[in-house]
Structure 1
Amino acid sequence: MDKSVSPLGVNRPIRALLTMLSVSAITASVVVGSSPAFGNEGRAAARVDIVVQGGGIVDPADVTELSVILRADETGLLGAGEIVLRLTESRFTSEEQIRRFLAGESNPVFSEVATAQTPDVPQLESRELPLALGADLWDFRLPKDEPTNSSEPPRRQAGVFGIEVTYSHPSNMTPALRKLAGRQVIVVIPEDLVIPRANIAPIVTLTTAADGGVTLRPEELQALTIAGGAVDVVTAAVRTHPATIAIDSRITASITALGDQAPPESLAWASALGTVGLAQFGLPWADADPLGSLEIDTLTYARLGEYPWIHGDAVTNDDLETLATRSASAVLVSSNSIPSDRAVVTIGQARVIRVDAQLSALATDALQAPTPLEAEADMQRAQGLIAYRALTGNQEILIFSTGRLPATAIAPRIDAVLGRLVSMPVSNSVAVPLTVAPTEILTSVLGTANPREYREFVTRVRELWEGDVTFATIASDPEGSVFGRWTRYQALLSSTWRENPNGLATEWERAKEDSRDFRNSVRIEQGSAITVLSDQTSLPVTVVNNLPSDVVVILAVRPTTGILAVETPHVRLTIPPGDAMRALIPVQSLANGTVPVEFALFSAGGEPVGETVTIPVTIRAGWEGIISIGLAVVVGGTFAFGLIRAIQRRRGDQRATASGDEVSA
């Protein structure tokens, strides 16, 4: 069993100094790292953690080397203080004990095994403190079994132990930084002991950011699938370290929609996708929450795939029944909702695949850890759970996710983390049992309700979608007008928003604005003020249709006062796609003055369409005759004046001619 190399690159050469200064029950040796390691802000909370050298599996006959990691966050300095290391008195006797220990929900019996002083840790920096524990710690914790054959030497047992480190400095300025604690597990296996491997089935999700709810543009696809792009890197990791891959349908649908116009890199990636991984299954658009999608899906548009994967722990028996009737071959559900450790169970009519929530969280933490050393700490906690199953011979498959995050978020470390998982000396990577028969029948899930804020958000998304659907009923092809908008709302329920709440808030505002624009695609143009000079006339109104389909609307005209009467207050209009129609509304003026007239559109069912437009109409009833007479007088006077002038000019010419004749005579 090779326990000297860690795939995350955190092992160091054995230090002679540490070997000489190995500690037993209550002594410790400490060497402070000379150069600081800087963490990023992705998981920047101050913490203290432990990494066991040699990959987390130790031989009880050897010195156990540890590294204690202290990291300060943006809240301030971790002053020079004290760390205390405590080891459980006995090995864990159940998997549940390990889970509760790592979650901080139990306090087993500890013994103090080391203390040390720590240096100052400046803000946003970390320090590593190497420690060494003597082999005699395991003498009473792992006694040797008496051999059944007297000719054989006694053999030491194996076990999984818990270790806790606490940092304290009462004078730190920030109260939360005065005491920190971290927990780790140590797997102790004698070198000559051969143990079986536990079956694990990691799921790598291949998703993209869900912004816009539209297919990816060619340049986006190229950036993702080009050599070194996020999707290419994640795919290569799964090809190197076999696992099950779950593929976002937005990626494949985008390539399909572009066809031959898709980037060559994307076409090459898609053509080789079928050979990647131990198994594959599709995810809904942007890995949208299946139950949230069902909640807003008033037109049965949701394509949840053959293996819908529930977000979080909120699920009921009725939800499972609904998914089963929607052609789900199996439903992936969090272990927090399944009262069993079996990989595949039956609940009602649904076949349920158990996804281990704690292992999924540890793998996700490793992918987002600021440094490789802290990622290794997360992996060793996961290894402790896997090792216990190996030591007890439990062959049930441990299914877990490596983080339901966009490919861009997991690409930097997916190869190292996935490689670490599948190469553990205690693990055997297998495919997710998508088609395996259940091994247990359960009566119910343990699911809880989603938080109130999430339920309210889903309700608001549904209301927005329903408003768009209602608006689309004015089109001759309502489904064609609204179908392309479904993914816009489904994308709001994407798993990729979990780590980006600010991005979701921005996307929600965009969705509301986009909905307003969509519902304003059929509208009344805001005209200028109208002046009416006769008792009876027509008001001109222009209605625009920007939808790709004919629309039928009812134009309603309502004067706000009684000085104007509308002969036909409701006019049915059919407007061609991408066109505008000018309607003339007959009216009769009853008195002079100015009246605001409201113009509104309604569907055939009476639902309002777009916004009401108000146009002021000024009435000058009776002025038409006066103006006509005035114009007639002006025109007639001008004509008469011109005629008189012409006659006078002619007479003048005649007199001038006569005078000339007389002079000549």
Structure 2
Amino acid sequence: MVAESVLKHRPALPGTVRGLWSRTKRPIGAVLIGLLAGALPVTAGLPASATVPTMATTQTPAVASSNAVNLSVAPTTLEPLRAGQDLIVTVTVENATSNTIPAGTIDLFLAERALISRNTLNGWLDPEKSSKPGDLMLSEPMTVSIQPDSTEIFTLTVPADSVGLTSGNAWGARGIAATLNTGDKVRAEGRGTFVWYSDEEVTPVNLSVIMPITVPAQATGLITAKALEAFTAPTGVLSRQLDGVVGGPVTIAIDPMIIASIRILGRAAPPGAIAWLNRLDQAPNDIFPLSYADTDLALQAQAGAESLLAPTSFEQSIDPALFAATDQAESPPSDPGASSATGTPVPSTDQPATPSDGTPPTSEELLAWEYSATDIGWPAEGAVASADLDVFMAGGLNTTILGGSNASGAAPDFTPDAPIGLGTGKGLGLVVDDPLAAALRTAAAATTDDSWREAMSEVSSQLAVVSAERPGTERTLLATLDRGWPPSAERLTDTIDALAGLLWYAPSTLPEVRASVPAEEVTFDSQAEPKDRVALATRLLEREKEVTDFSSALSDPVVVTGTQRLDLMALLSTSWVPQETAWTDAVGTSLAASTGLLESITVATKGPINVVGSQVDIPVTLDNALNQAVTVMVRVVPSNGRLLVGEAVESTIEAQSARTVTIPVTAAVGNGAVTLRVTLLTPAGTIISQPSLIPINVRADWEGLGSLLFAAFVVLFFGFGVWRNFLRRRRERAAPEAGDEPDTGDDPEPQAGTAAQPAPDLEPESGPADAAPDPLTPARAGDVPTEPRD
């Protein structure tokens, strides 16, 4: 750097003009400005250096972000300003109020001092309090008023003499400021920068840029075909991201979920998605993988994950029919936009997403890719704790990309290299240059030319300051683009291309950054994720363990566990960070769905049940609402000692059906109420759901008492019959002795040779005693009646 001693503080205007612009003589300056403005039509044909700059205005709709007047200023070109050149800037005024701003004046200022450090540069662009804008270069009257909710763009030219910089001024970043004045009131102020250059020899800053290719936040671990079709359309998010960086000096960080989601669709993958994947495969850029679904590595570590999450299986989501070999007649048409009769997109003749011989791909094949490196971790920037680094290392990630808030110790007047040591056994850290990255991201997301030029002028100034800090000292920095999606691929491409035009920039690769010497003075600062975010993530991890334990009862556990892991990783994605409310809702929905899964096997029996024996089999009905068979252990525990229950009973329940199992119980002592606690367990012994309570009424003595009563009834019944028969026969034997009684003459005399019939029993009887004598029983001699006496 050329020493500037006095010239660094050189005023922007000659002393005479500067004196006129003193606060005590401002009315005189206003009169001069008015005279010059009135002379514009006369001097319009003169050289620009001899006239006050002209002003062009355009009006565009403004989206009011607040009820305020906003102003921004930026040079119209990224070329450095050289001696003898005019400074041309655009001043954008946004009237976000409901009132019209009357025509006033726009004043342009040059910072009194060169911006020789990152602190002074950042302090100029974002001052903590109102400070002097610098030396006045130009005061231009407005010719139009600014209507409510509208924007006016003014192009102003400052003559080289008014800038006041010469070849004696050292090169580097300079600050400019603009104010909008109506009457004696300053309505708005904005600040910007440009680079002054006088053909000095500069040392370019080696800058590596990383572009993450991700999709918008979603709650499932696979992207649907419909979403992929939209994302990979010409104006889709994935197309814009890839178009903006492919072939450029940018390292790509790709979400493996995108690759797997395209490949798993087989022949049903949208043609645009297949073409997009082939373009990515042919891109010359260095590529490394993000965590699946761009899961926040720091969040899962701080939420209690013992190891980094990874997909467990894709088998549950693979449709073998999409990979079956087809006849030539069934081959898809060559038209990339053609569709089948059912509306399913037909793949183009480009290379398929997953070459197949009819065999569905494995989980490893879906994720396979030829990466430049696989040991780099990129958690959410600025939220990495010291303990997280151990988890990263255990997962094979020995290089961690960190935000600027995770590092401290740099000198205020010197920007260190990106690498830092993280401690013994904790790997290497690559610190992102936050101010530079923020300016790049703003430029890539710009929606207007003026906002893009403003952001890029800051990028240029940031690099110029770093280059000029210690002339001859090379620096290697790292900047990252935002996880998101640029409004257009053109802005992203323009941003990357504009870097190449800066004399103080040199492209660098990520391997070169990793190979540079770590900054000794910079240390790692442990940070933490927000507590609320960690609490929800912890609940998700706990729920996954519950689902995994539950799945051991299923005939095909992978169907549940594989999907649960993919969806969990999607919910822990860094894409959710700026969407706190939406993420909370998505987590709640996921927890509710998994609760329904855990409650899909239930005990249907409610009770009460009466137990009237000493040994009884109690029926318990089990319901299975899942689409696959389950095997459970039924364990019953009584609430007291009135019932004794044996070991747990194993039962298999078919898909979407019910089954009744019998639980043998034994009555012990006493009668009364018992509550059976029925618990369902997996074969491994994990409780499936909340136990069910079945009330039981125990009447264990009813069986013995009933037997005694029945036996007594039988004995009395047959004893009574025998006794009556005995009495009847005694009466029959005593019947002949009753002949002394007078004959009533009512009955005819018996004929000769005919046995006399015994007199009927006068006592009414019923039952077996009224039956006739058994003909098979021979009559005894004493029973034959004798002849009547004379």
* TM-score using structure 1 length: 0.74
Cα distance, 1:400 vs. partner? 0.9
Does 1:220 find its partner at 2:227? yes
The question of whether the paired residues in 2 share the 8 Å contact of 1:198 and 1:389 is answered with: yes
Q: Classify 1:310/1:214 alpha carbon distance in 2 versus 1 (closer, same or farther; 3 Å).
A: closer
Partner residue of 1:540 out of 620, 629, 633? 620
Match of 1:162 in 2: 175
Partner residue of 1:342 out of 400, 417, 421? 417
For the residue of structure 2 that corresponds to 1:223, the secondary structure is helix
C-alpha distance in 2 between matches for 1:541 and 1:494: 42
Cα distance, 1:356 vs. partner? 1.4
Decide which moves more: 162-171 or 128-137: 162-171
Q: Classify 1:581/1:336 alpha carbon distance in 2 versus 1 (closer, same or farther; 3 Å).
A: same
C-alpha distance in 1 between matches for 2:578 and 2:167: 48
Decide which moves more: 64-73 or 595-604: 595-604
The question of whether the paired residues in 2 share the 8 Å contact of 1:72 and 1:122 is answered with: yes
Cα distance, 1:456 vs. partner? 3.4
Does 1:35 find its partner at 2:59? yes
Describe the superposition over 1:600-634 as per-residue Cα deviations: whole angstroms up to 9, x where unpaired. Answer: 434578764224445677999979x9xxx9xxxxx
The question of whether the paired residues in 2 share the 8 Å contact of 1:244 and 1:277 is answered with: no
The question of whether the paired residues in 2 share the 8 Å contact of 1:237 and 1:414 is answered with: yes
The question of whether the paired residues in 2 share the 8 Å contact of 1:44 and 1:370 is answered with: no
Does 1:129 find its partner at 2:154? yes
C-alpha distance in 2 between matches for 1:574 and 1:28: 94
For the residue of structure 1 that corresponds to 2:377, the secondary structure is coil
The question of whether the paired residues in 2 share the 8 Å contact of 1:554 and 1:603 is answered with: no
C-alpha distance in 2 between matches for 1:137 and 1:39: 35
The question of whether the paired residues in 2 share the 8 Å contact of 1:556 and 1:602 is answered with: no
Describe the superposition over 1:88-131 as per-residue Cα deviations: whole angstroms up to 9, x where unpaired. Answer: 11212223422343343586872244456676655653221322
The question of whether the paired residues in 2 share the 8 Å contact of 1:18 and 1:132 is answered with: no
Match of 1:355 in 2: 432
Match of 1:295 in 2: 302
Match of 1:323 in 2: 392
C-alpha distance in 1 between matches for 2:496 and 2:69: 26
Partner residue of 2:493 out of 397, 415, 429? 415
The question of whether the paired residues in 2 share the 8 Å contact of 1:288 and 1:494 is answered with: yes
Does 1:440 find its partner at 2:518? yes
The question of whether the paired residues in 2 share the 8 Å contact of 1:295 and 1:462 is answered with: no
Cα distance, 1:558 vs. partner? 5.5
Cα distance, 1:170 vs. partner? 12
For the residue of structure 2 that corresponds to 1:450, the secondary structure is coil
The question of whether the paired residues in 1 share the 8 Å contact of 2:603 and 2:620 is answered with: no
Which one-letter code corresponds to 1:158 in the other structure? W
Partner residue of 1:254 out of 257, 261, 267? 261
Does 1:185 find its partner at 2:264? no
Does 1:585 find its partner at 2:663? yes
**Count of matched residue positions in the alignment of Structure 1 and Structure 2:** 586
C-alpha distance in 2 between matches for 1:595 and 1:122: 82
Cα distance, 1:287 vs. partner? 1.6
Partner residue of 2:645 out of 568, 589, 595? 568
Answer with 1 or 2: which has the greater Rg: 2
C-alpha distance in 1 between matches for 2:183 and 2:511: 51
Describe the superposition over 1:500-524 as per-residue Cα deviations: whole angstroms up to 9, x where unpaired. Answer: 3333233222221222133224x21
Which one-letter code corresponds to 2:281 in the other structure? G
For the residue of structure 1 that corresponds to 2:113, the secondary structure is coil
Q: Classify 1:447/1:531 alpha carbon distance in 2 versus 1 (closer, same or farther; 3 Å).
A: closer
| 1:459-608 equivalences in 2 (<5 Å) | 459-472=538-551, 481-521=560-600, 523-526=601-604, 532=610, 536=616, 538-544=618-624, 546=626, 551-556=631-636, 567-568=644-645, 571-575=648-652, 578=655, 580-586=658-664, 599-602=678-681, 608=687
Q: Classify 1:196/1:533 alpha carbon distance in 2 versus 1 (closer, same or farther; 3 Å).
A: closer
For the residue of structure 1 that corresponds to 2:688, the secondary structure is strand
C-alpha distance in 2 between matches for 1:541 and 1:300: 41
Match of 1:652 in 2: none
C-alpha distance in 1 between matches for 2:95 and 2:698: 76
Q: Classify 1:400/1:101 alpha carbon distance in 2 versus 1 (closer, same or farther; 3 Å).
A: same
Cα distance, 1:84 vs. partner? 4.7
Q: Classify 1:583/1:116 alpha carbon distance in 2 versus 1 (closer, same or farther; 3 Å).
A: farther
The question of whether the paired residues in 2 share the 8 Å contact of 1:160 and 1:185 is answered with: yes
Does 1:276 find its partner at 2:283? yes
Cα distance, 1:527 vs. partner? 5.0
C-alpha distance in 1 between matches for 2:538 and 2:659: 37
Q: Classify 1:300/1:132 alpha carbon distance in 2 versus 1 (closer, same or farther; 3 Å).
A: same
C-alpha distance in 1 between matches for 2:500 and 2:635: 67
C-alpha distance in 2 between matches for 1:170 and 1:491: 56
C-alpha distance in 2 between matches for 1:19 and 1:608: 91
Which one-letter code corresponds to 1:384 in the other structure? S
The question of whether the paired residues in 2 share the 8 Å contact of 1:601 and 1:610 is answered with: yes
| 1:619-658 equivalences in 2 (<5 Å) | none
Q: Classify 1:475/1:111 alpha carbon distance in 2 versus 1 (closer, same or farther; 3 Å).
A: same
Cα distance, 1:303 vs. partner? 4.4
Match of 2:216 in 1: 209
Which one-letter code corresponds to 2:379 in the other structure? I
Q: Classify 1:583/1:298 alpha carbon distance in 2 versus 1 (closer, same or farther; 3 Å).
A: farther
Cα distance, 1:180 vs. partner? 4.8
Describe the superposition over 1:568-618 as per-residue Cα deviations: whole angstroms up to 9, x where unpaired. Answer: 286343436746542223468999999986644345787642244456779
Match of 2:236 in 1: 229
Which one-letter code corresponds to 2:292 in the other structure? W
C-alpha distance in 2 between matches for 1:524 and 1:554: 11
For the residue of structure 1 that corresponds to 2:176, the secondary structure is strand
- Return 5+ residue gaps in structure 2 as ranges: 1-39, 312-373, 411-415, 711-790
Which one-letter code corresponds to 1:418 in the other structure? I
Q: Classify 1:533/1:328 alpha carbon distance in 2 versus 1 (closer, same or farther; 3 Å).
A: closer
Match of 1:366 in 2: 443
- Return 5+ residue gaps in structure 1 as ranges: 1-14, 146-155, 173-177, 630-665
For the residue of structure 2 that corresponds to 1:127, the secondary structure is strand
Match of 1:238 in 2: 245
C-alpha distance in 2 between matches for 1:526 and 1:89: 83
For the residue of structure 2 that corresponds to 1:320, the secondary structure is helix
Which one-letter code corresponds to 2:78 in the other structure? G
Describe the superposition over 1:236-266 as per-residue Cα deviations: whole angstroms up to 9, x where unpaired. Answer: 2212533111101111122343345533433
Q: Classify 1:428/1:438 alpha carbon distance in 2 versus 1 (closer, same or farther; 3 Å).
A: closer
The question of whether the paired residues in 1 share the 8 Å contact of 2:222 and 2:566 is answered with: no
C-alpha distance in 2 between matches for 1:182 and 1:313: 29
Match of 1:102 in 2: 125
C-alpha distance in 1 between matches for 2:460 and 2:678: 69
Match of 1:640 in 2: none
Cα distance, 1:380 vs. partner? 1.5
For the residue of structure 2 that corresponds to 1:486, the secondary structure is helix
C-alpha distance in 2 between matches for 1:274 and 1:427: 28
Match of 2:775 in 1: none
Partner residue of 2:460 out of 363, 368, 383? 383
* TM-score using structure 2 length: 0.63
The question of whether the paired residues in 1 share the 8 Å contact of 2:651 and 2:661 is answered with: no
Which one-letter code corresponds to 1:163 in the other structure? I
Q: Classify 1:344/1:573 alpha carbon distance in 2 versus 1 (closer, same or farther; 3 Å).
A: same
